[in-house]
Amino acid sequence: MAPSKGVMLKKLPNVLQPLLRTLRMASQIPPPNIPGLFTGLKDTSAKTGTVELWYDTVFNNPETLNCHVHKVIHKKMSDGVAHEYLLFEIKFRDAGEYDSILIAERDMGDERESFVRGFSASQSCENKHRPYSSSFTSLSRFKAYDIIHNVTKPSPAYDKMAAELDKGYSLLTLSFGEIKPSVHELATLLRITSRNKPLYDAGCTQCFWFAATVFEALQRRFEGTVEDTNGHKRRGFHGVPIHIQDSVGEIHTEYEIARATWSEQRREQRFEDMRRELEHANQRADRAEEMIEMLRRQVREMGAEPRTS
């Protein structure tokens, strides 16, 4: 009995294994070229940027209207680090076997509140819920660092990310039905959330607040089905619950206003594009009419000339 292809492959020298993987990757159809969502098959790590930078990258790309979020997973680190974040599974209609995996999270920036001009305490925390404790002192007032990581699945970069994801576990999973948020809509929501509370407040608007607020806002706007895997393990910051309902309401209202404004601007832009196209069509028609009249004159002039034998 001849050995199987898998057995033969295992017998090849180790030095040939990377070469074979490279050849297989070279023969594959590449993932879509949509910056901010898909990475190249040769990339070994995810792309990372701030929410603001990611918004600028994807919002003006019309292809993101055709990329939709199918699932959102609220995850928690389990390696001793008190941290929560969101993982998004995104599909593009022409992506074939590829998905985009997106991670959104909030971290503490380097700038203290005193250096962040124009921000007040009320912008950072819902004061009526603030846990007054000596635990929240020097870490309480920093500018938030809201970041996005994106990667193509499957790819070597995703394999590297998956190894890090294995260090945490899922709290809640939100799956969408027929109504799925586009990446265009997700970008709007993430930027509004980031700007709504721009300060990292250790007792209120930290990673727990960011992840929970975006998750709840998506559920409110697009509904979907929630699977509670380990939701009871959400303890907030050092056991203090994080209150998000006021923030979710504000962000939902800001989101609806932003989307309505964008829709109106898009309608006006389409109208202006149609007006310009009509103007150009009229100009082309005028030039065509002039050409026809010129040809008619030439025909008349040629008909008036005596014919030569």
- Residue 38 to residues 25, 54, 60, 115, 297, Cα–Cα distance (Å): 16, 12, 16, 36, 60
Q: What is the pLDDT of residues 158-174, one digit of tens each?
A: 999 999 888 888 999 99
Model's pTM, two decimal places?
A: 0.76
For residues 232 and 172, is the Cβ–Cβ distance under 8 A? no
Question: Residue 235 pLDDT more than 80?
Answer: no
Looking at 25-34, 124-133, 237-246, 286-295, which range is the least confident one?
124-133
> Side-chain half-sphere of 28: how many Cα atoms within 13 Å?
18
DSSP helix, strand, coil percent of the chain (3-state; round to 5) = 45, 20, 30
Cα 96 to Cα 91, 118, 178: the distances in Å are: 9, 47, 20
Predicted local confidence at residue 261, as pLDDT: 94
What residues have CB less than 8 Å from 247, skipping those under 6 apart? 126, 193, 196, 197, 209, 213
Q: Which of 136-140, 142-146, 218-222 has the lowest mean pLDDT?
A: 136-140
pLDDT tens figures, 45-82: 999 999 999 999 999 999 999 999 999 999 998 777 78
Q: pLDDT value at position 278?
A: 82
Say whether pLDDT at 7 is over 60.
no
Structure tokens, 97: 């076997």
Is the pLDDT at 11 greater than 80? The verdict is no
